Amino acid sequence: MKAFKNLTSPICSFPVRDVDTDMIIPAQYLTSTSRAGYGQHLFARLRQNDPNFFLNQPDAQNSKILIADENFGCGSSREHAVWALMDFGFEVIIAKSFADIFKSNSGKNGLLLISLEAEEVDTLHALSGQPLTIDLETQKIQYGNGTTGSFEYDPFRRDCLLRGLDDLDYLLSHRELIDNYQEQKKSVRFYSTTQANHL
């Protein structure tokens, strides 16, 4: 998984509530278990039918930060929604709230989700196209005019994202501790069996 420490990028705005995973990536495109290639189908129905849709604008092609709204990522649990957003190029999504399963899938795949108060998100929507800096180490946000804010993020997911570790990588990084624990348990089981044989 790619490590994330900080990012400066122009933002793009999609101020729509209750964006579900079928809107993010329609079911007919879920044809592969590879994470690559889904970006071309991100918001496919809206992109194909509306030339003014935000992803069809030149600014969106260079943006790595998406400003969404409330309950983003609701609906089915398809992990492909996260893959599509990341494959398109988004590294951070800021919203008023996220659906729980989408939030979990994002953390495991390295997509940074930031929840902010409604007033802050509305302010960001009005700044579409302007640069924003996200610093995960300090958990700070800096606007182009120098204004700063802060955000909360799960400590475990923060540590994994800063180090570029997915769940499996995290477990393997503790391989020595796991092996030592298994050896200790093996010794206890052997001792218990030996004791029982002498009864």
pLDDT at position 60: 87
The CA dihedral of 44, 47, 49, 50, to the nearest 10 degrees, is 160
pLDDT at position 111: 98
pLDDT exceeding 70 applies to what percent of the chain?
87
pLDDT band at residue 195 using 50, 70 and 90 as cut-offs = low
pLDDT band at residue 190 using 50, 70 and 90 as cut-offs = low
State mean pLDDT over 92-98.
98
Distance CA 46, CA 24 (A): 9
**In the predicted structure, residue 193 carries a pLDDT above the cut 60:** no
Q: Which segment of 37-46, 125-134, 172-181 scores lowest on mean pLDDT? A: 172-181
pLDDT band at residue 199 using 50, 70 and 90 as cut-offs = low
Question: In terms of Cα–Cα distance, which of 31, 37, 32, 163 is closest to 110?
Answer: 163
Q: What is the pLDDT of residues 148-160, one digit of tens each?
A: 899 999 999 999 9
Q: Which segment of 39-43, 127-131, 135-139, 189-193 scores lowest on mean pLDDT? A: 189-193
* Helix and strand totals (H; E) in the chain: 8, 7
pLDDT at position 173: 66
The CA dihedral of 112, 118, 123, 127, to the nearest 10 degrees, is 40
pLDDT at position 185: 73
Q: Which has more confidence, 142 or 31? A: 142
**In the predicted structure, residue 197 carries a pLDDT above the cut 60:** no
